[in-house]
């Protein structure tokens, strides 16, 4: 409940001002230490060169007008750490979306390594030139390591989502990954990083859903897999995901993209169903739950025909078909879970 209330305060501050609200208060010093540790790691290990350029037409042999798809965000969205365009998450999402839609998909990726939420305004301007039907945003890790006040970060994300929706573009946001899953971090830095990441992710979800878009929690769903098989899930820099890790992230986001475009049937009023991982909660509570349960989607819904209840906007918390569950992580689904290291 405390994390939910904190996320609600951050999101409220983002909308109404007061960016001084921070996620960790007295633990700022710990974040300074965290930033220094991460910076040293990155300086030593960041791969040479830029991410592969994956822009272009996917599923060109399919009939119909191409779906315009834009990707915005940081190095995870850009695909830093892999060497071939088809290994980037944007290309994997474009390929998957084309197969689901039965139409070509034209990909425009404006994400850049090192990006923080403040650059989203420029990225949106660039993306809108392609008139996207749908956009995916993956952002937040660099805001945490740079100690940007969460309310400031969320305000930039909120503005980006608002502009995209106003242009008729559907939006899916992959929330801030759990930096506590980064292998080199030791306690107490691991706990500090985890807390800051999850609070920002929850606040991002509240702002995104209030605007009418969807969020998908990237969190630490691959935490156990990264720890058990770092050579498989990390790229050579031992910080960003490998091709297998990026494929996992794409599989977590793709079902929500399909739903946003109406390619997956939507139930008008989803009611709680534990067997399907479905719940209906006030958005700030759903956001906090999603931050703890990677792979979960949060989207606005109605209860008894109303968007809002006594504690705010209603939201569904669900794991869509194709998104992996934690209890499946040791089986085949371990290969379709999102990576936690989308920083820098």
Q: Which of 75, 98, 215, 235 is catalytic?
A: 75
Q: Kindly report the number of other CB atoms within 10 A of residue 120's CB atom.
A: 25
Report which of 276, 317, 282 is spatially closest to residue 299, judged by C-alpha positions. Answer: 317
Rounded to an integer, what distance in angstroms lies between the CA atom of residue 122 and that of residue 300? 27
Secondary structure class of 280 (helix, strand, coil): strand
Q: How far is CA 287 from CA 50, 115, 147, in A?
A: 33, 24, 21
DSSP code, position 59: S
Angle between helices 2-16 and 150-166 (to 10 degrees): 60
Among the listed residues 74, 133, 143, 237, the single catalytic one is 237
239-10-23 Cα angle (round to 5): 50
From CA 197, how far away is CA 292, in angstroms rounded? 11
Angle at 257 between CA 251 and CA 261, to 5 degrees: 150
Catalytic residue among 181, 240, 242, 256: 240
Name, in order, each residue with C-beta under 8 angstroms of 76's C-beta and a sequence gap of 6 or more: 89, 138, 141, 174, 177, 240, 241, 246, 249, 339, 341, 342, 343
- CB-CB contact of 301 with 270 (8 Å): yes
> Distance (Å, rounded) from C-alpha 140 to C-alpha 153?
8
Closest CA to 177 of 94, 69, 253: 253
Is 83 among the residues known to form the active site?
A: no
Question: Angle at CA 161, nearest 5°, toward 155 and 162?
Answer: 85
Q: For residue 237, indicate whether it is catalytic.
A: yes
Active-site residues, by number, are 75, 237, 240
């Amino acid at each position: 409940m405390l994390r939910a209330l904190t996320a609600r305060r951050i999101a409220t501050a983002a909308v109404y001002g007061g960016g001084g609200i921070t996620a960790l208060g007295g633990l700022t010093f710990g974040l300074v230490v965290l930033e220094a540790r991460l910076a040293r790691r990155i300086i030593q290990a960041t791969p040479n060169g830029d991410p592969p350029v994956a822009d272009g037409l996917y599923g060109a042999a399919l009939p119909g007008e191409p779906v315009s798809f834009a990707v915005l965000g940081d190095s995870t969205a850009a695909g830093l750490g892999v060497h071939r365009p088809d290994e980037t998450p944007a290309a994997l999402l474009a390929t998957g979306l084309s197969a689901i839609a039965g139409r070509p998909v034209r990909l425009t990726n404006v994400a850049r390594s090192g990006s923080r939420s403040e650059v989203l305004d420029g990225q949106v301007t660039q993306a809108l030139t392609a008139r996207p039907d749908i956009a995916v945003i993956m952002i937040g890790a660099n805001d945490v390591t740079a100690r940007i006040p969460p309310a400031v970060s969320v305000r930039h994300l909120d503005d980006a989502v608002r502009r995209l929706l106003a242009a008729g573009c559907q939006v899916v946001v992959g929330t801030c990954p759990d930096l506590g899953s980064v292998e080199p971090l030791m306690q107490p830095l691991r706990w500090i990083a985890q807390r800051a990441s999850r609070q920002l992710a929850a606040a991002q979800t509240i702002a995104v859903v209030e605007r009418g878009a969807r969020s998908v929690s990237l969190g630490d769903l691959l935490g156990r897999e990264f720890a058990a098989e770092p050579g498989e899930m990390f790229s050579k820099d031992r910080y960003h995901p490998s091709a297998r890790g990026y494929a996992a992230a794409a599989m977590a986001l793709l079902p929500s993209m399909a739903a946003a475009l109406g390619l997956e049937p939507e139930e008008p009023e989803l009611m709680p169903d534990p067997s399907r991982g479905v719940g209906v909660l006030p958005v700030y509570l759903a956001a906090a739950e999603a931050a703890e349960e990677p792979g979960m989607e949060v989207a606005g819904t109605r209860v008894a025909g109303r968007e809002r209840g006594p504690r705010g906007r209603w939201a569904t918390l669900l794991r869509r078909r194709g998104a992996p569950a934690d209890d499946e992580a040791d089986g085949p689904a371990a290969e379709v879970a999102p990576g936690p290291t989308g920083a820098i």
